[in-house]
């Protein structure tokens, strides 16, 4: 089992990581369509650990409310940092996460700007639903 902060990653994501189709240099047109962000960097396992830890640190530093982050609670537009794993990010601070709160399988959520700051919105009910409706992400782009 492949885990990040105690959360088991979906098998489809582990397969994409193992084949090099999810990670630095890879792109997902499906994620771009769902989030409206063209330049999302798909994170490898080390990047998921690093960026998810940074999400927790952002909450602990007091930036949680502006970023739609909570701890131990959930609500509309919020993401519980203890129940999340970041899987894609952009330089503009957009992010896509697996949200493990209240579900046997995590849903896929993404940041969206809203009144008062960032909100988290569902873009797919599961990771499998995200990748099954379109071709999987492409591998690294040639240099």
Residue 71 CB contacts under 8 Å (≥ 6 apart), including other chains: 59, 64, 80, 81, 82
142 within some domain: no
67 within some domain: yes
Query: With contact defined as beta carbons under 8 Å apart, do 26 and 13 qualify?
Result: no
Q: Which domain holds residue 92?
A: 3-132
**pLDDT value at position 65?**
86
116 within some domain: yes
Query: Is-above-0.75 flag for pTM?
Result: yes
**pLDDT value at position 141?**
45
**pLDDT value at position 135?**
52
138 within some domain: no
**pLDDT value at position 75?**
83
118 within some domain: yes
139 within some domain: no
**pLDDT value at position 137?**
56
**pLDDT value at position 56?**
95
Query: With contact defined as beta carbons under 8 Å apart, do 81 and 55 qualify?
Result: yes
If one counts the domains in the chain, the total is 1
Query: What's the rounded Cα separation, in Å, for the pair 57 and 1?
Result: 25
pLDDT along the chain (143 residues), means of 10: 94 94 83 82 96 95 91 89 95 92 90 87 93 61 44
94 within some domain: yes
**pLDDT value at position 142?**
43
**pLDDT value at position 143?**
43
The radius of gyration computed from the CA coordinates of the chain, to the nearest angstrom, equals: 14
**pLDDT value at position 139?**
53
**pLDDT value at position 138?**
55
**pLDDT value at position 102?**
81
- The H-assigned helical ranges of the chain are 11-18, 29-35, 45-58, 127-132
113 within some domain: yes
């Amino acid at each position: 089992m492949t885990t990040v902060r105690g959360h088991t990653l979906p098998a489809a994501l582990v397969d994409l990581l193992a084949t090099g189709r999810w990670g630095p240099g890879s792109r997902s047109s499906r994620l771009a369509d769902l989030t409206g962000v063209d330049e999302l960097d798909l994170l490898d396992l080390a990047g998921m650990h690093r960026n998810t830890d940074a999400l927790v640190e952002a909450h602990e530093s007091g930036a949680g409310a502006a970023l739609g982050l909570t701890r131990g609670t959930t609500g509309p537009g919020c993401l519980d940092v203890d129940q999340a794993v970041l899987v894609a990010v952009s330089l503009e601070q957009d992010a896509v996460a697996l949200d493990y709160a209240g579900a046997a399988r995590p849903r896929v959520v993404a940041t969206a700007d809203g009144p008062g700051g960032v909100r988290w919105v569902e873009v797919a009910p599961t990771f499998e639903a995200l990748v099954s409706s379109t071709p999987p992400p492409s591998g690294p782009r040639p240099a």
